[in-house]
Structure 1
Amino acid sequence: MVDEERAELIQQAMEILGPSADRAEVEKALRTIEGYKRTKKESWTPSLRYGHAVTKDQRDAAKMAVPALKRVLIALTPVANDPQLWIDGKEIDLEFLRSLQEHLETIERAKIRPGTSFDARKRLAVQAAADLLKAAGKLPTTTRGGDFERLSATLWGDTDADFQELVQEYLHQTSKLGGQPETN
């Protein structure tokens, strides 16, 4: 994010929060969310070793590749040591093909992950907005276009983003956990 954009977002957040808000806390929240968005986007792919889910496209591709790889392994096994079939003077690496097959079979059996990766990151903006509002002496509310939703969108970096459902979910969860009562 460009410094001018960041300054504009901080200014918008300060206008929403009012004069009692701490600018340093707003800047810190914005930096945290920016960093989280940047690092988590690249590292969102789950590790299959711990039983995480995959997308439907990943699983479908694995389902198509596994039988093909099995056929390749069956066909190459008797001639793997034949120097005429070597690639660039190197033996065909059947171990690599077997490990690839095992990995694809793991993907083939994996659960399908729901497509809500952005929600987890947007929830951080909602949490930061709630904390900033409370620090400024304002109650977070579920009002569409209200301070809570506008501040969440501003901290996210997209003032036109719709945070209504996430704001409602946050207030519902905190009221269930004994936090601030849900308000409309």
Structure 2
Amino acid sequence: MAEDKRIENVKAAIGAHPDFPKPGILFRDIFPVLRNPPVFKQLLDIMTEYLQSQCPGVEIVVGLESRGFLFGPILAQNLNIGFVPIRKKGKLPGLTEKVTYKLEYGEDCFEVQRDSIKPEQKVVIVDDLLATGGTMKAAIELMETVKADVLGGLVVIELVDLKGRDKSNKPIKSLIEY
């Protein structure tokens, strides 16, 4: 029951902005959670407990640009493991691996530093939102390119009507569904 109350607290703190960024979209805003230290701590505790119990042996938390960077390093620190960012093209120094993925209009590219993950390391991909699933799918593909063992994904919010999890070949855990 304690977890249910913590999830309720997080959900109550999430903002909603109608018609943003364009008419017909209801934008779910995670930033009010971050402005509320007790609720933010509850969210991080839930995420940490999930990784400890459901992802045994995880060695790296991978965060997606940009809001995955808000949770990933803290989760990695809580678990005493490494954090690796996945960034948009051209944002990382050194040798990188890339994957291109489709957007609603056009395409984009994710990169990871080649030496940031060793083959067979167990990773979990963290982000704030699962919507259409394109970025999560691309992140999984990128991790498979560097031969990581992808245990799955962990997101705070899932927009279930968009069926983003259907694009994933790995388990995805969402804490809050709309």
Q: Please identify which structure carries the higher helix content.
A: 1
Ranked by relative contact order (alpha carbons within 8 Å, sequence separation 6 or more), the top structure is 1
Q: Please identify which structure carries the higher strand content.
A: 2
TM-score of Structure 1 vs Structure 2, range by shorter chain: under 0.3
In the superposition, the TM-score normalised over structure 1's length comes to 0.24
In the superposition, the TM-score normalised over structure 2's length comes to 0.25
